[in-house]
Amino acid sequence: MILPYATITIGARTQYVVKVSWEDYDFLMQWPWTYAVSHKGGGLVYARRSERIDGRNATILMHRVVIARMGLKRPSKKHFVDHWNGDSLDNRRIADDGRAQLRWVTPRQNMANQRGVINVPVAPKFQVVGEIPF
């Protein structure tokens, strides 16, 4: 069975699985990804990587890379990326219901979309790879 999306496992000791669209998978796999826990918004987990830019470490968030690849420019500095279904580790282009999964929103729009999704680490010995045997 082929999944309608690809997954990228991030983290070392504690691991999370990030959903991505197949058209972004190869591009994103060029770099090692880890995660960051947001201290705002209830401790959501986001896929991230670091890069040295102008002699300083910069954090690059996966959802910003994907939304840029989608060609969606940031309308203003007030806007930030919102995950339509509330799952901060779902960086697909399209959600299960056919809507855009990633979009630019204002803080007010984001508050209206709060769903309280909690990211749960994947237990490495129970991580499913390939088909589920039932």
* Greater model confidence, 59 or 111: 59
Quickly state the pLDDT bin for 115 (edges 50, 70, 90): low
User: pLDDT for 28-56, tens place per residue?
Assistant: 999 999 999 987 666 889 999 999 989 99
Q: How far apart are CA 129 and CA 29, in angstroms?
A: 17
Q: Which of 129, 95, 112 is nearest to 2 (CA)?
A: 129
Q: How many CB atoms lie within 10 A of CB 32?
A: 9
3-class state of residue 28 by DSSP: helix
Give the CA dihedral 37, 43, 45, 50, nearest 10 degrees: -20
Contact by Cβ (8 Å): 38, 44: yes
Domain ranges of the chain: 27-119
Measured CA distances, 120 to 15, 50, 53, 131 (Å): 9, 23, 32, 21
Q: Which CATH number is correct for 27-119, 3.50.50, 3.90.75, 3.30.360, 2.60.60?
A: 3.90.75
Q: Which pLDDT tens digit goes with each residue over 12-26?
A: 889 999 999 999 999
Q: Is the pTM of this model over 0.75?
A: yes
Using alpha carbons, list the distances in angstroms from residue 20 to 4, 6, 95, 114.
Answer: 10, 5, 10, 21
